[in-house]
Structure 1
Amino acid sequence: PEDATISCYRCGPMVDLCSGPHLPNTGYLKAAAVTQASRSHWRADVTKDALTRVYAITFPSKDELKDYEHRIAEAKKRDHRVVGPAQELIMFHGLSPGCAFWLPNGARIYNTLVDYIRELYWTHEYTEVITPNIFNLELWKISGHADHYLENMFLTDVERQQFGLKPMNCPSHCLMFGSRKRSYRELPMRLADFGVLHRNEFSGALSGLTRVRRFQQDDGHIFCREDQISA
């Protein structure tokens, strides 16, 4: 827009468009530490040159930096990527990157959580459903995933037709709702699903259970009349 404000940032000879916030000068920064360095491709295009991304953090005092570093060190001791394998809860394998293996101890915890969530379904009047893992690409065209999420989907050809593993449960619940005519008396309809989802995340972005390629999502959708929506 013509009346928009443009913010520029200068660091030595480099001038860049940056929304900020900015400090008047680096004198405000009394303590700094580099926390991480990683490779990154321009606009996430792996065919482009790889860049080095450096992460750093600053504080107004050295004491605040030390306190931060102590909290981070304590958090690392409790990191599920460390605790999980150590207590034989979960494991990962290079032959299935980004996909967790739930070992017996972990499976017990997992199933206990599922049982608890099912109790919440009953309390909040949700009905559990089970939906397929793979759908014809036509569904993903209708939902918009084919236009906006295709690069993050696992695709396969079956009898000259393209299918995709579902990255989200929403379209399958919509198919269920639209499978027949509904009476207004049936609404609201609350559907819940422990659907298995697959998302083709970049290998460099995979991280423990927080960024994976295969996971199960406790997902719910409510189909209701407009007058049943509360603010």
Structure 2
Amino acid sequence: MNRAGLLILLLFPLVLSAEVFSLWPFSGNGTSVPDEVAGNSPLWTENVIVNGQSLELGVSMNQNPLDLCFQNLRKMHPDAVFAANKESLLAEIKLKNGLRRRILLLSVHGIYPVLSFSMDIPASDLKPKDWPSEFPLPPGAKPQMTMRFPKRDAVYGAFSSDFDVPQTLSSLGASLTAMGWKSVSGEHFDPSSGNGEIFMKENPSSLLVIGLTPQKNGGCFGSLYQRRNK
């Protein structure tokens, strides 16, 4: 596995949390996304298919700590909208062509001060289309987003459900087991104590990660990420 692929694999348990990915209804204009954060060192760009539309994701590292990145962005774009916590910062910048640029900054301890993800999105969000055939969809769940990463043979799906985390985790675990997946963490056997799970499959060799977050209405937000091992 190359360095970029390893880094993405290490980051996905964090990036795929509902708090982060639910803020990524990405779309693009078919061109490379420029770096808006002072001190960014570009790592790579890659094609991502979001809700059926082909887009481009830019990934960079930044030598500055998160709080300094925040200060720099506010100086450069005083009219931007920001949402932040101790480990992440989301910025939305209105562009002259009508698009919005969303920049997600993550402070990942032990890897680098800050990682930067950037894409342009349209004024109106894209609607999810077909649910990935690789994933089961729990009863009553509604698709919210799908993302395919052709470069790394990976797929992501997010959904909302009126059922709570234990019910949804149990349902997903049973469905995935029937599809030939084997649980690594075993949390769906006692879903009352878990909010996610990792599965593996031998043929083809693949990894699958589930993440679930409770919602105020008693339901939950769920995500699944699958990547084939090279």
Specify if TM > 0.5.
Answer: no
Higher RCO (CA-CA < 8 Å; seq separation 6+): 2
* Superposition TM-score, scaled by structure 2 size: 0.26
**Structure (1 or 2) with the greater strand fraction:** 2
- Of structures 1 and 2, the larger Rg is shown by 1
